[in-house]
Every structure is written in structure tokens, then in C-alpha cells.
Amino acid sequence: MDFDTGMCVLDTLQNQVGTTKEHKNMIVKDIMGKMIHMVRNVFEKRRIMLDSPHGQSLKGAPQMDEETQNWPIAEELVGELDELKYTFQADLLPLYHDGHLVEPSHAQNVINGAIVEVHFGILHWHISDFNIFQANIEKIIILKLGYRHHTSNYKCLHPNDTVSEPEKKKSCHDEDAHSSGSQV
């Protein structure tokens, strides 16, 4: 199914399921047109709670997960993340390329500009006068990688550009040197 057909189906679904005319969160309209707002929870509740009455002070207390040990966490939030480790575990984005799971550290680079197939489920809530819809990502399959950008911090020389040597600056010992207050 192509994108426009999919958007039409989702719009129809919202209109048939929703009991009010106000639908929120899943289909977003902006100056570029309609888009689907999709989400994925970063953590899920552990099925078996970890037991450690002494918390971090206990030698060998469990770390959150191998996946989270290298996450860039603001210093003031490290304690909160450590508190989560006993009741929650990381639920990583299931991103696949050529049938293989993409490592979290590579996900941003791989998905950037790619053509993807997204499998998702839809949740619906009716709260007061609003119908709230949420598209929850279940799996992303990369169909075609995006254009790879040059990763250097330096610009590449364009074939039409010529390389010119910078002008030599005058030293204080040159006869034509000026005082420090003037421009060279």
C-alpha cells in the first residue's frame, strides 16, 4: 500500500471509530501535508522484578541493561535512571536491515534518509470530548538505505574551485609594518 492510500485508510479508521469530530495525535497536519505521528516507549515494565533491598550500595547490584550502560545521560538524571533498573528494562527500537537487527549505536545513521516499511499498532482512547489515537511502532524494516553523506568536518574541494595560497602577513620587522592600532 502506498503512503497516500495508507493515510486515507487511517483517516477513515479515525472517523469511523471516533465518537467525536475531534481526533488527536496520530494524523498530524502541517504546511507539508498530512503525516503519521508514531511513537515507541523506551522502557517496558519488567516481568520479574529485581530484588535488591540495598539498591546501588549492594555489591553486584544489577545494572539497567547492557544497552543503556553507554547512553549519554545528564549527570543530574543518572540517579533516576538507576532507580528505574529494578522495575523497568530498555525496550529498543526493532530496526532491521537485510534481516539483521541494527545496533542502537548505528540506528540514527542507518535510518536517516532511508525508505522504510513500518509495522505498527493503533491505540485509541476516548477522553471527554476527544478521541486520541496513537500509532505504536512494532518493527521497522529498511527497504533502501538513504544517501550517505560525507562525514568529514571539512568541505570537499569543488572541481571548479582553485586553491589559492593565503597572503603572507607582514611581521613587526618589516619596513612597511604599522603600529598595532592599524590594520595590516
Q: What is the pLDDT of residues 21-55, one digit of tens each?
A: 777 788 888 888 888 889 898 888 887 766 655 44
Identity of the highest mean pLDDT range in 66-70, 94-98, 156-160: 94-98
8 Å CB contact between 82 and 102: no
Q: CA-CA distance, 34 to 40, in Å (whole number)?
A: 20
55: left (phi over 0), alpha (psi -120 to 50) or beta: left
pLDDT tens per residue across span 146-181: 886 555 555 555 566 555 555 555 555 555 554 445
Task: List Cβ<8 Å contacts ≥24 apart for 77-83.
Answer: 82/55, 82/56
Count other Cβ atoms within 10 Å, centred on residue 85.
Answer: 21
pLDDT of residue 92: 81
Q: CA-CA distance, 134 to 33, in Å (whole number)?
A: 19
pLDDT of residue 52: 57
pLDDT of residue 184: 47
pLDDT of residue 143: 95
